[in-house]
Structure 1
Amino acid sequence: MNETVVDLLAGNARHAQQFADRFDDVQDAQHPVAVTVCCSDSRVLQDQMWGNEQPGHLFTVGNIGNRVVQLGAAGEEVADDVLYPIAHTGTETAVVVGHTGCGAVTGAYRALAEAGSEPAGIEHSLRLLAPHLEAGVAALPDGLDTAEAVNRLVEYNVDQQVASLVESERVPDALDVVGAVYDFQDVYGGERGEIHVVNVGGVRRVDALRDAHPEVADRIDRVWEY
């Protein structure tokens, strides 16, 4: 057996032992408190970033660029894997989580600004992502290096994904939608691995968000207020 798989199975054995008595309440149904939409990246620990160790507590969705949309018969629509917990499990909160140094945003930025190319499967995801970033790329300040541009566009992408949920007819108006960025590159000045709120229900001005949510004011920040 591949040694990597052997190591993974050993880790799973520890997991199974630790979690053996934590599945009793979710044997037949799930009622997660939130659906989180994160980027598919090995550095983004989708459950552990929240300190979650309880099965059934969070419904986690991961894809290239933390997108909430897919292409349907009538065009772009909220993705089924995001919609499912909202429609069928009573979930009333959605959190879109981007991350610093995002490779998907970098790829989309290069495709828009530098005419880069990716393999066909990745291109499909970038084609879904790039239109949401095009206006953001055009609005970037002059003189930014690629890393600075990408981290601004990470926030911009989160804003666009939040807007897609807020404006969708498929999503109940009562759904609370929050946009955030997971930082492991010292961009926001906090601890590595901290989550910084950048958008709540379409509101993205830091001062307005801090006034409205004083209980988490120290966790609200942006690198780009456009």
Structure 2
Amino acid sequence: MHQTVVDLLRGNAAHAEAFDARFDDVQEAQHPNAVTVCCADSRVLQDQMWDNDEPGELFTCSNIGNRVRQSTESGPVVTGDVLFPLQYFDTDVAVVVGHTGCGAVTAAYDDLTEGVDVSPGVRHCLDSLTPHLASALDRLPEGLDRAATVNHLVEYNVDRQIETLRQSDEVPDGVELVGCVYDFQDAYPGRRGEVYVVNVDGERRVDELRRRHLATDGRIYRFWEY
């Protein structure tokens, strides 16, 4: 067996020892307080970014580009993994988490500007991102380097995912929709690993968000108000 798997199992043994008693209250049912939709990037520590170590607290979904939409024969719909806790477990908060330097957003940007040759599976994912991001290209501020362009588009992509959730009749009324960006590139003003709120229920004006959400004022920040 590959040494990586041996190391993973060794780590799991330590996890099982530490978490043994923490499953007592959630063995038969779950009622997560939030569903998070994160990018499936090895640098994005999906539960640890919230300092969460409680089973049953978060319903965590991940895919490249933190997408909330999937294609079906009847047209695009919100992904079932996002809807599942909202519809069946009375979860009333959905958090979409993008991240600085996102590879999926970078690939989508490259596809829009020069085209990229990718496998059919990756193409399916990119095709879920590029239509949303295409509208941003003519609106980007001038003078951005490549890294800044990608990070502007990361915010824009989070906004589009929140918009998809807001427009869906399948998302129950009253669910709060929060868009965030996880930063490990020193792009935002705080520490590496901090999460910044960029959108709440479609509102993306920083001053207004700070006025409405005083408890999180220091964690509300955007590169781009368009």
Q: Place the TM-score, normalised by the shorter chain, in its bin.
A: over 0.9
Mapping of residues 68-217 of structure 1, within 5 Å: 68-217=68-217
Match of 2:197, SS state, is: strand
Deviation at 1:215, TM superposition (A): 0.8
Give yes or no for contact 1:166–1:173 (8 Å, CA) kept in 2.
no
Paired with 1:186 and 1:87, the residues of 2 have a C-alpha distance of 37
Give the TM-score normalised by structure 2.
Answer: 0.98
Match of 1:71, SS state, is: strand
The answer for the alignment partner of 2:23 in structure 1 is 23
User: 1:133-173 CA deviation, whole Å, 9 max, x = no partner?
Assistant: 11112211232221111000000000000011011011112
Paired with 1:91 and 1:166, the residues of 2 have a C-alpha distance of 16
Match of 1:20, SS state, is: helix
The answer for the alignment partner of 1:220 in structure 2 is 220
Paired with 1:184 and 1:164, the residues of 2 have a C-alpha distance of 26
- Asked if residue 39 in structure 1 is aligned to residue 69 in structure 2, the reply is no
Task: Look up the equivalent residue of 1:218 and give its one-letter code.
Answer: G
Ranges in structure 1 where 5+ consecutive residues have no aligned partner: none
Considering only aligned residues, what root-mean-square deviation do their CA atoms show, in Å? Answer: 0.8
Paired with 2:189 and 2:120, the residues of 1 have a C-alpha distance of 37
Which 4+ stretches in 1 moved above 2 angstroms?
none
Paired with 2:201 and 2:128, the residues of 1 have a C-alpha distance of 22
Bigger shift: residues 70-79 or 37-46:
70-79
Paired with 1:101 and 1:56, the residues of 2 have a C-alpha distance of 30
Task: Look up the equivalent residue of 1:70 and give its one-letter code.
Answer: Q
Deviation at 1:108, TM superposition (A): 0.4
Deviation at 1:2, TM superposition (A): 1.1
Give yes or no for contact 1:66–1:97 (8 Å, CA) kept in 2.
yes
Ranges in structure 2 where 5+ consecutive residues have no aligned partner: none
User: 1:50-93 CA deviation, whole Å, 9 max, x = no partner?
Assistant: 00000010000000100000002221110001000001111000
The answer for the alignment partner of 1:2 in structure 2 is 2
Query: How many pairs are equivalent?
Result: 226
Identity of aligned residues (%): 60
Paired with 1:88 and 1:72, the residues of 2 have a C-alpha distance of 21
Deviation at 1:15, TM superposition (A): 0.1
Bigger shift: residues 82-91 or 138-147:
138-147
Deviation at 1:117, TM superposition (A): 2.4
Deviation at 1:213, TM superposition (A): 0.4
Paired with 1:202 and 1:211, the residues of 2 have a C-alpha distance of 15
Give yes or no for contact 1:37–1:62 (8 Å, CA) kept in 2.
yes
Paired with 1:7 and 1:102, the residues of 2 have a C-alpha distance of 27
Give the TM-score normalised by structure 1.
Answer: 0.98
